[in-house]
Amino acid sequence: MKPIRITAIRPTTVSVPLEAPLRHANGCHWGRFVRTIVEVDTDAGITGLGEMGGGGESAEAAIRALERYLVGTSPFDLERQRFMIANPTASLYNNRTQMLAAIEFACIDIMGKALGVPAYQLFGGKLRDAVPFASYLFFRYPDAAGANEVRTAEQLVAHARALKARHGFTSHKLKGGVFPPAYELACYRALADALPGDSFRYDPNCALPLEDAVRFGRAIADINNDYLEDPTWGLNGNRQVRAATGLRIATNTVVVNFEQLASNIRDHAVDVVLLDTTFWGGIRPCIKAAGVCETMQIGIAVHSSGELGVQLATMLHLGAVLPNLTYSADAHYHQLTDDVIAGGKMRYTGGAIRVPDGPGLGVALDRDKLAEYAALYGTLGGYPYDQDPGRPGWAPITPNTAWADPDDARRPDLTVA
Ligand code: MG
């Protein structure tokens, strides 16, 4: 095979609507996702697809600036690429891990297309044909038409039941840290009561003070929990929650690189490492980390930092090749109204999504959709992930101690039924 060289890198920012604004401890997804689709061209006429969170002029400029490193190099040289654009020491200054991930996705797509094999074949072959997912449940503001709100336990249970009926989920993740812990505890327990036999996970994005996290953990001991995810901040805080509750603790915040993984092995704090193909800098580092976890008997799952179809494909190929994938994956995907990939949104069957079998990542862009949602980004622009449209001027603090103080302006509105 003739050597292949990268010739250009083309980012496109898109905005794809969500069913409703999704609330979380640190702000909100304001009714849409902003993502950057990264296309990497080669002299072989093959284009690879990558994806990254966020976008806009400066993000696109930063991605285009990688051309000076990568044009003329081989898309097969992934290990060299890592040191060229995200050397661990230089990363203190240039912070390019997430861009490296988008480039890695595209290069793996190119490799698979050049060889005529699906991406999972490059990683040793798939061990499963479909990857199981948990339903990802959020407290939601109403949409523009006043529908789709999730605020009360009744609304949450109805939402979970509808998702289960539609997609077949048997595990459910509640994103919390929005309302006071006692309120969210009641919601979580209502979910478990409503869906007997299913499993559950709760993730307040590190917002709970340590004491609240322990109290919450002790109060859910009788539930079929997959794990408690980032109940409080940091390895040291979560180690204490683990010791005090005996629950399995998961994280996507404080074990996101090999240094932190090593720390967690030397002084055990979390039991389940949630592998994010973007946060870890690509599919390959996630596979490497999963190998360490397999050896050390640490649990893993596939994490979602928000995805359209290209990123979802990276999660599926990752999930397909991991022998030790004992928990269902997370995806925001079912909250989206549409996608930019050809054929429309991927479908869930029995709570799982089939791993694409086409060459590379196995997904193609729908050019009309890409143009439509690039235009929507042009109209709406970005949104601050760490601000909440329902609470102007509010800023999150961690741990969130505002819940205890009724006069604190950061206390969420609790005018609930
Ligand atoms: Mg999380």
Note the pLDDT of residue 406: 56
What amino acid positions are annotated as catalytic residues?
175, 303
Compute the average pLDDT of residues 193-204.
98
Q: What is the CATH classification number for the domain harbouring 28?
A: 3.30.390.10
Place of tokens 């979802």: 312
Co-location of 110 and 153 in the same domain: no
DSSP, collapsed to helix, strand or coil, labels residue 225 as strand
Q: Does the pLDDT value for residue 408 go beyond 60? A: no
Co-location of 108 and 53 in the same domain: yes
The Å distance, Cα 417 to ligand 1 centre, comes to 28
Write the pLDDT tens digit of every residue in 327-337.
999 999 999 99
* Residue 76 confidence class, pLDDT cut points 50, 70, 90: very high
Co-location of 267 and 159 in the same domain: yes
Co-location of 203 and 313 in the same domain: yes
Q: Distance (Å, rounded) from C-alpha 391 to C-alpha 408?
A: 13
Place of tokens 């794990």: 227
Q: What is the CATH classification number for the domain harbouring 248?
A: 3.20.20.120
Average pLDDT, the chain: 95
The Å distance, Cα 354 to ligand 1 centre, comes to 24
Co-location of 105 and 145 in the same domain: no
Range of the domain at 332: 121-365
% the chain with pLDDT above 90: 90
Co-location of 56 and 140 in the same domain: no
Write the pLDDT tens digit of every residue in 227-275.
999 999 999 999 999 999 999 999 999 999 999 999 999 999 999 999 9
Co-location of 206 and 284 in the same domain: yes
The Å distance, Cα 250 to ligand 1 centre, comes to 8
400: in domain = no
The Å distance, Cα 256 to ligand 1 centre, comes to 12
The Å distance, Cα 298 to ligand 1 centre, comes to 17
Compute the average pLDDT of residues 109-135.
98
Write the pLDDT tens digit of every residue in 152-161.
999 999 999 9
Compute the average pLDDT of residues 296-314.
98
Q: Quote the tokens at residue 28.
A: 């909100």
Co-location of 203 and 308 in the same domain: yes
Secondary structure (H, E, C), the chain: CCCCCEEEEEEEEEEEEECCCEEECCEEECCEEEEEEEEEEECCCCEEEEEEECCCHHHHHHHHCCHHHHCCCCCCCHHHHHHHHHCCCCHHHHCCHHHHHHHHHHHHHHHHHHHCCEHHHHCCCCCCCEEEECEEEEEECCCCCCCCCECCHHHHHHHHHHHHHHHCCCEEEEECCCCCHHHHHHHHHHHHHHCCCCEEEEECCCCCCHHHHHHHHHHCCCCCEEEEECCCCHHHHHHHHHHHHCCCEEECCCCCCHHHHHHHHHCCCCCEEEECCCCCCCHHHHHHHHHHHHHHCCEEEECCCCCCHHHHHHHHHHHHHCCCECCCECCCHHHECCCCECCCCCCEECCEEECCCCCECCCCECHHHHHHHHHHHHHHCCCCCCCCCCCCCCCCCCCCCHHHCCCCCCCCCCCCC
Co-location of 176 and 203 in the same domain: yes
Best CA proximity match to 97, nearest among 122, 62, 58, 72: 62
47: in domain = yes
Stretch (H or E) spanning 317: helix 309-321
385: in domain = no
Note the pLDDT of residue 415: 45
Co-location of 236 and 101 in the same domain: no
The Å distance, Cα 409 to ligand 1 centre, comes to 25
30: in domain = yes
Q: Does the pLDDT value for residue 362 go beyond 90? A: yes
Residue 285: CB partners within 8 Å, gap ≥ 6?
A: 258
210: in domain = yes
Please state which of the ranges 91-100, 115-124, 172-181, 198-207 shows the lowest mean pLDDT: 91-100
% the chain with pLDDT above 70: 96
The Å distance, Cα 125 to ligand 1 centre, comes to 28
Q: Does the pLDDT value for residue 416 go beyond 50? A: no
The Å distance, Cα 201 to ligand 1 centre, comes to 10
Count: domains in the chain: 2
The Å distance, Cα 271 to ligand 1 centre, comes to 14
Co-location of 96 and 181 in the same domain: no
215: in domain = yes
307: in domain = yes
Q: Does the pLDDT value for residue 169 go beyond 60? A: yes
Q: Does the pLDDT value for residue 417 go beyond 70? A: no
Note the pLDDT of residue 404: 62
Report yes or no on whether pTM surpasses 0.85: yes
The Å distance, Cα 32 to ligand 1 centre, comes to 19
The Å distance, Cα 231 to ligand 1 centre, comes to 9
Q: Distance (Å, rounded) from C-alpha 228 to C-alpha 185?
A: 12
Co-location of 96 and 224 in the same domain: no
Compute the average pLDDT of residues 165-180.
97
Compute the average pLDDT of residues 128-144.
97
386: in domain = no
* Residue 89 confidence class, pLDDT cut points 50, 70, 90: confident
